[in-house]
Structure 1
Amino acid sequence: MSDSATIAVVRRFYDSKGDPAVTAEVMAADIVWDITPGFPGGGVYYGLDSVVNDFFGPLFGRFDTFYAVGEEFYGDGDHVTALGHYQGTTKTGTSVQVRFIHLWTLRDGKLARLRQAADSLVIDRVLNG
């Protein structure tokens, strides 16, 4: 895939704001989802079902809204680096913005791996005081 085609797949994921249908279309069934320790649900998840049920399910359960906003994208073959922020509102009504960097690997036009780094302290303070 060209750099612009791989970036388009990543952008589509962000633009969907967590739409389950889009998530299922753009993610490989065997995706590896690596989330920074200290971030809610931090750890490594293997497979689309685990990402959706074990990571997104508990995370989204703590927020009224929560989604990633991609701001800058850099492609290099099957790799895309995305800089952006998470935007959310907790169940108690507190708004939060948390910066992230996502390192994506694509395979056969689908998201096959995510390595995330984010400011986990900001989100921890919003969720846990």
Structure 2
Amino acid sequence: MRSNHQIIQEHYAASDRKDVAAMMADVAEDVRWTEAAGFPCAGTHIGPAQVIDKVFKVLGSEWEGYQFKLEALFDAGEVQVGIGTYSGRYRQTGKAMQARVAHVWRLEGGKVRAFEQFTDTLLVAQAMR
């Protein structure tokens, strides 16, 4: 059985490849996926379908070259913390952004049960104006 750390490493590797199916492979059917207040996809989304529709598809359509660059992944057993940087160009304004971000993952039984994003939403909002 893969460790929780390996599961999240594989999620980020799939994200780099833009492989949504692989990104969601270890996500529980009732996952609680929370994007920070003030972020374009703010709120808590329940289940993989909502995460794909209300987060990944929105970011992919509204931002050009949107990406997350992982810099460190910390292993705390059932909790994993990814630290990195978001970047991209907002299509409507043509403005680019870079924002530091932390992702907090909670896993149980080899499945992602919860995800929470912490980021500088002001930097994102400035690109959208």
Does the alignment reach a TM-score above 0.5? yes
- Residue of structure 1 equivalent to 2:106: 105
Q: Following TM superposition, by how much is the alpha carbon of 1:47 offset from its aligned partner in structure 2, in angstroms?
A: 0.7
The letter for the 2-side match of 1:16 is: A
Post-superposition Cα deviations, 1:99-126, rounded to whole Å, max 9, x if no partner, equal: 1111100122222211111000001111
Across the two proteins, how many residue pairs are aligned to each other? 126
The answer to whether the aligner puts 1:58 opposite 2:85 as a matched pair is no
User: TM-score by structure 1 length?
Assistant: 0.86
Deviation at 1:33, TM superposition (A): 0.5
**Residue 93 of structure 1: CA displacement?**
4.5
1:89-104 map, 5 Å: 89-91=89-91, 93-104=94-105
Which of 6, 9, 24 is the aligned partner of 2:7?
A: 9
DSSP-derived class of the 1:87 partner: strand
Specify the SS of the correspondent of 1:89.
strand
Q: Which amino acid aligns with 2:110?
A: G
| Residues 71 and 83, structure 1, Cα contact 8 Å, conserved in 2 | yes
Distance across 2 between alignment mates of 1:82 and 1:65: 20
| Matching of residues 1-129 of structure 1 within 5 Å | 5-17=3-15, 18-91=18-91, 93-128=94-129
Alpha-carbon distance in structure 1 between the residues aligned to 2:6 and 2:35: 22
Residue identity opposite 1:7 in structure 2: H
Deviation at 1:51, TM superposition (A): 0.6
Separation in 1, partners of 2:66, 2:14:
12
Residues 11 and 70 of structure 1 are in contact (CA less than 8 Å); yes or no, is this contact kept in structure 2?
Answer: no
The list of structure 1 runs, each at least 4 consecutive aligned residues, that deviate by more than 6 angstroms after superposition, is none
Distance in 1 separating the partners of 2:6 and 2:36: 25
Q: Distance in 2 between matches of 1:42 and 1:24?
A: 19
Highest RCO, 1 vs 2 (Cα 8 Å, sep ≥ 6): 1
Unaligned runs of 5+ in 2: none
Residue type of the alignment partner of 2:105: W
